[in-house]
Chain A
Amino acid sequence: MLELKNITKRVGADLHIHPTSLVFKPGTFNILLGTTLAGKTTLMQLMAGLEKPSLGEVWFGGVNVTGVPVQKRNVSMVYQQFINYPNMSVFDNIASPLRVGRVDAGEIKRRVGAMAELMRISAMLDRRPSELSGGQQQRTAMARALVKQSDLILLDEPLANLDFKLREEMRDELPKLFGERDCVVVYATTEPTEALLFGGHTAALHQGRVVDFGPTGEIYRKPASLTGAQVFSEPPINTVKAVKSGHIISAGGALSWVAPEDLADGDYTVGIRAHHVTPFETIGSVPVDGTIKIAELSGSESMIHFDAFGGDWVSLSHGVHPFEAGAKATLYADMASCFYFAPDGSLVRSGEAAGGR
């Protein structure tokens, strides 16, 4: 079990990681979700012991390991760049952590062989990393990380530098690789879809703070705060300030709809994800007038950026819906699926899950 107890990282005058407490159980797949510079890598380095927290403690398996250097912990890490020893063969690369650990030659051969089999790079064992494709190089790096039976495996955006098709493939395989292990796996990503695909637990990071932590599906449907919802929405979540009074909620003077009964009167920030805003009317949807900025039409989806309520709104829908840039248009927001956030940003009611939180 990995426990972060109130850890803080300060570099000069900047607070890179605000006081953070997290508990990761063995055998779980944990995701750190956040944009670039949200603090994912720093947090991982703190977990690994590559960096020392300015304040707070790191506990592993009930032992305080704060300040224990990384080589004395049983940790592996995979990076976004494909990190392998350039002039060693793939076999020697995978074997390197075992050799440092003084495992005997027969055992090394067996374990490296098995790992290469699992990673489907058995045919490449004699080659050097530079002779492999990007995907194979990253498989080699992962094999190196997995071969040594670590207690903690950290994966820092390992699929980010792979091309789309390979990424899809590895996304399918990854959870299977960790399925039977009794270690803590932490996986950093910038992509909400990747987090949803892997499931497990997700910690949403924003500017060095963990803004939300819980089972992935749950924090997607019920983010703790507006910031949490923003981290966990791609394309970005649409927001508008609204006032509830009586049975009616009105936003920006132009938009009003019937309020959910369980909502108290007052000011709210309403958040609605892009796929709940569509170019066609549905039952219970509310018309939103705006000016089209860009319409990105891929084969099966339309992403439409438009100006509404003085902000940038995005609509994501199935099918191809051509819109002309600069034109006035009406899109329809399914307000039954929106989030209501209090003025301080905390979630009051989620339309994506039954009941409030």
Chain B
Amino acid sequence: MNKTENQKAWFLVLPVLVLVAFNAIVPLMTVVNYSVQETFGNNVFFWSGISWFEDVLRSPRFHAALGRQLTFTFTILAIEVPLGVLIALAMPRKGIWVSVCLVLMAMPLLIPWNVVGAMWNIFALPEIGLLGNALNALGFDYNYTRQPGDAWFTLILMDVWHWTSLVVLLAYAGLVSIPDAYYQAAKIDGASSWAIFRFIQLPKMKRVLTIAILLRFMDSFNIYTEPSVLTGGGPGNSTTLLSIDLVKIALGQFDLGPAAAMSLVYFLVVLLMSWIFYTVMTRDDEANQ
């Protein structure tokens, strides 16, 4: 058969290419550009090779921030995913309470992130905040602006409050899509509620949970607004997560080279870990095909 050569199709791809170039490739390449040069005022640049990367990877400050970031992300994942699944399991499947629950659950997700930070900032203040005041009244010596432990507690509580709903909504969507017949079949078999969860609900929720975990991982690893409004990274450096540290270096100290190198390392860490997460969680599916 004769195939007519027609290269016009490339023009159809062009708009997407331009769009991607402007919102991803060009900014990224700018960062790459900064990361390999020494920057002085008046737009004077010197080639510096990979020295910034060496500095970043050897810097105890970066290690500490990365450590805090990992601690934060894995703590909230360990809380939000099981808690979200539990809440989803407890939610009604039919009746008027369904919409009530769904709206209540969606509420925290609708609040702008900086507002969430400001809300919790005030809510947790030891003297006037409802939470802070109540904790102190109960005899706890609670002050999140002074004690790192309290700052972490507040930070994690805030994130759990803000984002568990996302896991709940996704898990709930997975649950309601399971036909009644599955539950009946399990009942006929005499399966326990644990067996129903383990062999029906969990496998049927697996896909949405994979998405939930990935989303929560990426979002929490990139989190900036809420902790920055709540604690500003303090007290000291105790809640300075990667993104907060990055902003301090890039905009506070205006060290473009190290900041750019750190951004790229940060980006690669997120990419690598997302890939590992995804591969591990979908390994079973692959093996089945």
Across the interface, do A75 and B288 meet the contact criterion of CB distance under 8 Å? no
Which of A48, A86, A101, A130 touches B200 (beta carbons < 8 Å)?
Answer: A86
- Complex contact B181–A76 (CB within 8 A): no
- Give the complex CA separation of A79 and B181 in angstroms: 7
Tell me the complex Cα distance, A101–B191, Å: 10
Q: What A residues does B190 contact at CB under 8 A?
A: 71, 97, 100-101
- Is the pair A131, B288 in contact by a Cβ cutoff of 8 Å? yes
Complexed CA–CA distance, A81 and B187 (Å): 16
Establish whether residues B188 and A76, one from each chain, have CB atoms under 8 Å apart when the complex forms: yes
Partner of B179 from the list A48, A71, A81, A85 (CB cut-off 8 Å) is A81
- A96 neighbours in B (Cβ, 8 Å): 189, 191
CB atoms of A83 and B204 under 8 A apart: no
Q: Which residue of B lies closest to A86 (CB)?
A: B203
> If the complex has contacts A83-B182, A87-B203, are A130 and B288 also in contact, measured as CB distance less than 8 A?
yes
A50 on the interface (CB 8 Å rule)? Answer: yes
Q: How far is the CA of A131 from the CA of B286 in the complex (A)?
A: 11
Counting CB contacts under 8 A, is B284 at the interface? yes
A195 to chain B, nearest CB (A): 22
For residue B184, CB closer than 8 A to chain A, the reply is yes
Do A77 and B199 have beta carbons less than 8 Å apart?
no
Is A88 at the interface (CB under 8 A from chain B)? yes
Which residues of B, 175-205, contact A by the 8 Å Cβ criterion? 179, 181-182, 184-185, 187-191, 199-200, 203-204
Closest to B192 in A: A100
**Known contacts A77-B184, A79-B181, A131-B288; A97 and B189 CB within 8 A of each other:** yes
Report chain B residues within 8 Å CB of A88. 199
Interchain nearest-CB distance for A160 vs B (Å)? 13
Cβ B181 vs Cβ A48 within 8 A: no
Scan A30-51; emit 1 where CB is below 8 A from any B CB, else 0.
0000000000000001001010
Once A and B bind, how many residue pairs between them come within 8 Å at the CB atom? 51
- Chain A residues with Cβ below 8 Å from B179 are 81, 83
Q: Tell me whether A77 and B188 are in contact (CB under 8 A).
A: yes
Q: Report Cα–Cα, A101/B189, bound state, in Å.
A: 9
Specify the chain B residue showing the minimal Cβ separation from A127.
B288
Q: Do the beta carbons of B188 and A85 come within 8 Å of each other?
A: no
Q: Are A70 and B188 in contact (CB under 8 A)?
A: yes
Taken together as a complex, chains A and B put the C-alpha atoms of A88 and B203 apart, in Å, by: 10
Contact pick for A50, options B182, B184, B189, B191, CB 8 Å: B184
Chain B contacts for A69, CB-based, 8 A:
187
Interface residues of A in 123-162 (CB under 8 A from B): 128, 130-131
Whole-angstrom CA separation of A305 from B184 in the bound complex: 41
Given A50-B184, A79-B181, also A87-B284 (CB < 8 A):
yes
Tell me if B200 and A77 are in contact (CB < 8 A): no
Q: List 18 A-B contacts (CB under 8 A).
A: A50-B184, A69-B187, A70-B187, A75-B188, A77-B188, A79-B185, A80-B181, A83-B179, A83-B181, A83-B182, A83-B185, A85-B199, A85-B203, A86-B199, A86-B203, A87-B284, A96-B189, A97-B189
Can you name 20 extra interface pairs (CB under 8 A) apart from A87-B284, A96-B189, A97-B189?
A50-B188, A69-B187, A70-B187, A71-B189, A75-B188, A77-B184, A77-B188, A79-B185, A80-B181, A81-B179, A83-B179, A83-B185, A86-B200, A86-B203, A87-B199, A87-B203, A97-B188, A100-B189, A128-B288, A130-B288
